[in-house]
Amino acid sequence: MRILIVGAGAVGGYFGGRLQEKGADVTFLVREGRKKQLEETGLVIESVHGNLSLNPNMILSGEEAGTFDLIIVSTKAYHLQGAIESFRKYAGEETVILPLLNGISHFETLAAEFGEDRVIGGLCFIETTLDAAGKIIQTSSKHDLVFGERSGERTERILKIEDTFSGAKVGYRLSDDINQDVWNKYLFISAMSGITTLMRAPIGPIREEPSGRAVIAELLQEIVTVMKRAGAQFPENAEMLQMKQIDSLGFSMKTSMQRDMEKLSRVEADHLHGYLLNIAHKEQIPVPALEAVYANLKIYEQLLK
């Protein structure tokens, strides 16, 4: 199976590196600056699951490389359209596209560009970042990738993808209900990124402050209500289960959006919280905590300009 990883950043570089480590046929689609950097240093991963250094196979957008069987997309949402243009020529009629973005609206974008049948569901759980030298630093016990057909079927192609991940030094799971898995991750990441960016703090101090914990609970309740209206199905105790997961996190845990803000980088405000807020406004659902989260992020974006 020929695999194209769109980008060689913190997420794509990690999972692509682990696939190449096990001997998979992996190519990274990168920009010129990243290509030059990787030619000088190699792809270097420092991980709690074992370090890795390798020479990646790379192409620049537009170079001839044929089509690929699997394209893994792990860009930020605000880079998605540009990423689509960069890999379009490498997507053949049988190519499967596996997005690892947070949120849900990117599935509509990819399906509109390539067709519903060519886009499968995917998500990942990992804490990873690029340092100033371009090294991938992976710090979480979880380094999991979940994927599946959005129809829930166990097709021949999805079993081939499962076989491709087999033996790689990552946690991987073929899901029979990837749509619900995506909604569950969306619920968790929108609440976590929302509260940590709003409070400008790791999760530990927020949840230990009674008023902070109350805001987390309110935000979870609002997001669950909006997502249910959008078609997601959650158990009656969804908020309690999410709070239990939040309580299990390390005291100093920060979300990737919070880290982006600390680095004065762009954030996915519209893709994550704005998408939910639009549904809430349309359905006339009061969401004061979500409004505060979104306002905080948009004000940050204005000051960033």
Which helix or strand (DSSP H or E) is residue 124 part of?
Answer: strand 121-130
CB contact at 8 A, 289 and 219: yes
Is the Cα torsion angle 72, 75, 81, 82 positive or negative in sign?
Answer: negative
305 catalytic, yes or no? no
Joined together, the tokens standing for residue 266 give 């762009």
Cβ atoms of 12 and 38 within 8 Å: the answer is no
Region label for 115, one of left (φ > 0), alpha (ψ between -120 and 50) or beta (otherwise): left
Annotated catalytic residue within 185, 228, 298, 305: 185
In this structure, are strands 68-73 and 43-47 parallel, antiparallel, or unpaired? unpaired
Task: State whether residue 22 is helix, strand or coil.
Answer: coil
Q: Give catalytic residue positions.
A: 185
